[in-house]
């Protein structure tokens, strides 16, 4: 993704250099997101749609920061090492062999690499995230 296009109008450009990105602010709840493909094999029920935007990526591609959104439905996933904060919406995230997480606005959540999860999205969920690969 072109780093300069990551920031909304009026917030200033994002430095395209992943080694020394400029400081910037993005209004997460209003950011325009782009469609992201969802593997049909992940869909358990409903017709969830995923959108997102990468705001920053490290030069080696192992650190990613962005915004992600999913509409109601039930999907499965295998997680990366991730920290995210829910901006809007609600979901139940069942971690195979672990806890069931009830998440909503203001909640911070940590998922471990390799966690197999089932997401039941009750209300369109939007989150700001940091992933380590």
The neighbouring-strand residues paired with 85 are 108, 128
Q: Are 28 and 87 in contact (CB under 8 A)?
A: yes
**For residue 22, how many C-alpha atoms fall within 13 Å in the half-sphere facing its CB?**
13
What is the reported pLDDT for 22?
78
Burial 85-97 (b: 16+ CB within 10 A, else e): bbbebbbebbeee
The phi-psi region of residue 9 (left if phi > 0; otherwise alpha if psi is between -120 and 50; otherwise beta) is beta
- Give the pair of three-digit tokens for residue 88: 């809007």
Whether residue 8 is predicted with pLDDT greater than 50 in this model: the reply is: no
What is the reported pLDDT for 19?
52
pLDDT band, very low/low/confident/very high, at 10 (cuts 50, 70, 90): very low
pLDDT tens profile 25-82: 999 999 999 999 999 999 999 999 999 999 999 999 999 999 999 999 999 999 999 9
């Amino acid at each position: 993704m072109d780093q300069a296009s990551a920031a909304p109008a009026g917030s200033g450009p994002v430095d395209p250099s992943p080694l020394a990105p400029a400081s910037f602010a993005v209004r997460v709840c209003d950011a325009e997101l782009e469609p992201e493909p969802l593997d049909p094999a992940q869909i358990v029920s409903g017709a969830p749609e995923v959108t997102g935007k990468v705001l920053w990526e490290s030069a080696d591609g192992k650190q990613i920061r962005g915004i992600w959104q999913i509409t109601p439905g039930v999907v499965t996933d295998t997680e990366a090492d991730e920290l995210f904060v829910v901006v809007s919406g609600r979901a139940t995230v069942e971690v195979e062999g672990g806890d069931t997480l009830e998440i909503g606005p203001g909640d911070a959540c940590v998922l471990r690499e390799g966690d197999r999860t089932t997401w039941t999205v009750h209300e369109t969920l939007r989150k700001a995230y940091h992933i380590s690969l």
